[in-house]
Structure 1
């Protein structure tokens, strides 16, 4: 996504004398969120106020999203509370914002508050709720919310929901539950789901299941660098250096480069 280019065009627009509207500010705030430009986002927020355009749920929700994605959850919550008529997108944004910043309990509190005011959750809500459970390590909470999707709201679980549950079980070291869920799910697991399981195996040095997850990833995407790196790490921790060397040779033959370190929050 060309977020910086969008911000440059916004500046050109202002210099030309063209007045932005709700939709302009919403797009610009999305660009600020996309490149985590908090300072620019705050400046755009000031422009919104100075523009004299009446606040509406779209622009305010965009502000919530921007502040949350830039890591300022306090500002995100203040803006969220200022929305007079919060809609489902607004609630999803604040719940997801807390979840993505590792504030799982705060996300679940907002989810409970959302239900109390009569707003019905959707598929996105439950991705955020389950992600919150993952970050807070709340296995029992996740086990409560996951089946309630269908039983209370008639929402069929999709790949993202299953991936969250596998991630939740895996991080907690409950691999039996993770495997059972995968075996019984009605969807064919994708690379992301197997990747979540493999990452958990790396966390707990589970070589047997890690090799199985890596094999499934290789069959779906043969040049996936992360799977090779994690599997090599597990083998090294177990002291199986012959396997580590074999894996490195295989990576060399397939011209797979080790991926640089990244930070990711689900």
Structure 2
């Protein structure tokens, strides 16, 4: 039965005066994207309470109508902690993180949900240090975090490679006796893997009684990033034996592992099994992994052939992978071709000039090297400067 038919039935049965029925209809119309209908339902409720107003605020936010949501919130005669948290969450979901924090700071009362919503909002917007600052503020306020809070904070630690803070959070989890949860434990695995302590990631993973697909992807991806191709593939095989079906992310991780480990045949076998065995259509990321796999192994012809036969237009990532391999193996002709394709998609990409300059230099064509350097100077293009993290307490510098 369609929602408008349900609405008509509600009116016929004289149930439109019910706050609970009205709130459910408001949320239903929000799911269908009908702003006018949800506003009409709210107006039909004779005795509005805080729950119906909260439903309207959340629904407007879900549709991206932030001004309407704020207007409803401002005229509410009664507000509770759900009202405030709904407004904060709404601004976060509409990419207005600073406005969300402004509302959060005005809250006279906060619970673990409101703290967690704001912390996770910072993480979603990649403001990892702000998330950690807010977490410390939460602890100072006396509020106790739950497993959802800890999961978001661990994601923040992973995002800014803050191993020390991650270890402190892990210690807090143990001290507080927070119940084991697959989401929080997966965040622990991911944090240790991304912060450089892959052995700790393996340890946490090994003690987890339950693992989901995200858990397996985290440990496989972590192994691949650390150059442990064999362990990544072993984890993949174990995952399959445990009855967990891989997804697109899984195959990006295992193909990347094959690339770093120089396992060309294994990579080809996995790539071909995606659709044949698991019904997963390879996307541009999987093709990029295969191009990188062939290119790292010096099989530039196969890499070029794969690009030509791709079912979609290659993007910058694929051409940069090929160009990087051309620089590694001093293939000038193919490198110049890749550079032209990159320039069509993104003008003045630094990899174009730095890689071609390197190839010409290795071939002793110094006039061309000087010409590339001149172009880079004129266009204010700089090579990416290598750097490293230095961590003091939980600050990254």
Q: Sort the TM-score into its range (normalised by shorter chain).
A: over 0.9
What is the rounded CA distance, in whole Å, between the counterparts of 2:184 and 2:268 in structure 1?
Answer: 35
The root-mean-square deviation of aligned C-alpha atoms, in Å, is 1.2
Structure 1 residue 245 displacement after superposition: 2.1
Q: Where does residue 144 of structure 2 map in the other structure? A: 19
Structure 1 residue 187 displacement after superposition: 1.4
Q: What TM-score do the two structures reach when normalised by structure 1? A: 0.96
Q: Where does residue 234 of structure 2 map in the other structure? A: 109
- Identify which of 339, 363, 377 aligns with 1:252: 377
Mapping for residues 143-182 of structure 1, pairs under 5 Å: 143-182=268-307
Q: Deviations over 1:64-109 (max 9, x none)?
A: 0000001111110111112112111111111001001111110000
> Do structure 1's residue 124 and structure 2's residue 249 form an aligned pair?
yes
Q: What TM-score do the two structures reach when normalised by structure 2? A: 0.65
What is the rounded CA distance, in whole Å, between the counterparts of 1:185 and 1:138 in structure 2?
Answer: 21
> Do structure 1's residue 7 and structure 2's residue 94 form an aligned pair?
no
Structure 1 residue 224 displacement after superposition: 0.8
> Do structure 1's residue 230 and structure 2's residue 355 form an aligned pair?
yes
Q: How many residues are treated as equivalent by the alignment?
A: 263
What is the rounded CA distance, in whole Å, between the counterparts of 1:106 and 1:163 in structure 2?
Answer: 22
- Which consecutive unaligned segments of at least 5 residues does structure 1 have? none
Whichever of the two has the greater Rg, that structure is 2
Matched position secondary structure for 1:233: helix
- Cα distance, 1:260–1:201 mapped onto 2, change above 3 Å: same
Instruction: Tell me which of the two structures has the higher relative contact order, counting C-alpha pairs closer than 8 angstroms and 6 or more residues apart.
Output: 1
What is the rounded CA distance, in whole Å, between the counterparts of 2:307 and 2:181 in structure 1?
Answer: 43
Q: Where does residue 134 of structure 1 map in the other structure? A: 259
Q: Deviations over 1:109-131 (max 9, x none)?
A: 00001111111101000000001
Structure 1 residue 251 displacement after superposition: 2.4
- Cα distance, 1:262–1:152 mapped onto 2, change above 3 Å: farther
The more displaced of 189-198 and 218-227 is: 218-227
Mapping for residues 29-40 of structure 1, pairs under 5 Å: 29-40=154-165
What is the rounded CA distance, in whole Å, between the counterparts of 1:159 and 1:12 in structure 2?
Answer: 42
What is the rounded CA distance, in whole Å, between the counterparts of 2:202 and 2:355 in structure 1?
Answer: 37
> Do structure 1's residue 68 and structure 2's residue 199 form an aligned pair?
no
Q: Where does residue 56 of structure 1 map in the other structure? A: 181
The more displaced of 186-195 and 251-260 is: 251-260
> Do structure 1's residue 206 and structure 2's residue 331 form an aligned pair?
yes
Matched position secondary structure for 2:129: helix
Structure 1 residue 253 displacement after superposition: 3.3
